[in-house]
Structure 1
């Protein structure tokens, strides 16, 4: 049985979107719309605590911008950001946008992921 976590950011892919997101994080971080991105990434790079968890974990993880996810999974309608579990072709939500919006540190995110799997 293979289990995979899917992380879907509330942001679109591409260099221009990355630049706009970084600018938004710098100018008005409290109004940035992707709580998952705010937890896992600093303004210009991946958060080091998150990166260490991701690389040292034995979890299979995939990361998508919302436009990438919608192309691959057109029949799944979601509110973003979200974290899903894909297991035996079944997709279930393990961290909803409401839960992600309540988290204030990457350590809280990591704890919630560990509790949810």
Structure 2
């Protein structure tokens, strides 16, 4: 991974969910997570959200990261030309195309958000965004 100046204030963490935006879609997603959680298609959402709200430990983790956070649904990300597989966590260091930090294949294999937090922190350290 490319190193980035840790003082770069333009860096953004982009979290792309494998779900479409909108109130009706959010209601359908919540019902799907409750009724058939094993078949829910967005592992990022399943890891970081309860039925409707973000898990507090994940929220605290994100809040402490020294970069802007952008949350997108797949339909919004597609319009921006970001990534090709959803879900994904990207880093936009302001130097062109955002880099995929955590691809769908890794997110889909995770069992708990603590795995995601540890991996994301390590990858942000590798880029220099977060100090070692």
CA spacing shift, 1:58–1:77, aligned 2, 3 Å:
closer
- Give 1 or 2: higher strand fraction: 1
> What residue is the counterpart of 2:24 in the other structure?
16
TM-score scaled by structure 1? 0.91
Q: How does 1:101-116 map to 2 (within 5 A)?
A: 101-116=108-123
> What residue is the counterpart of 1:96 in the other structure?
103
Alpha carbons 2:74, 2:86 under 8 Å: kept: yes
Q: What's the offset of the Cα at 1:65?
A: 0.4
Larger radius of gyration: 2
> What residue is the counterpart of 2:73 in the other structure?
65
Q: What's the offset of the Cα at 1:3?
A: 1.9
Q: Given the alignment, which residue of 28, 31, 41 partners 2:36? A: 28
Q: What's the offset of the Cα at 1:114?
A: 0.5
Q: What's the offset of the Cα at 1:57?
A: 2.5
> What residue is the counterpart of 1:79 in the other structure?
85
Q: Could you tell me which runs of 5 or more consecutive residues in structure 2 were left unpaired when the two chains were aligned.
A: 1-7, 125-132
RMSD: 1.3
Q: Does 1:54 align with 2:62?
A: yes
Q: What's the offset of the Cα at 1:102?
A: 1.1
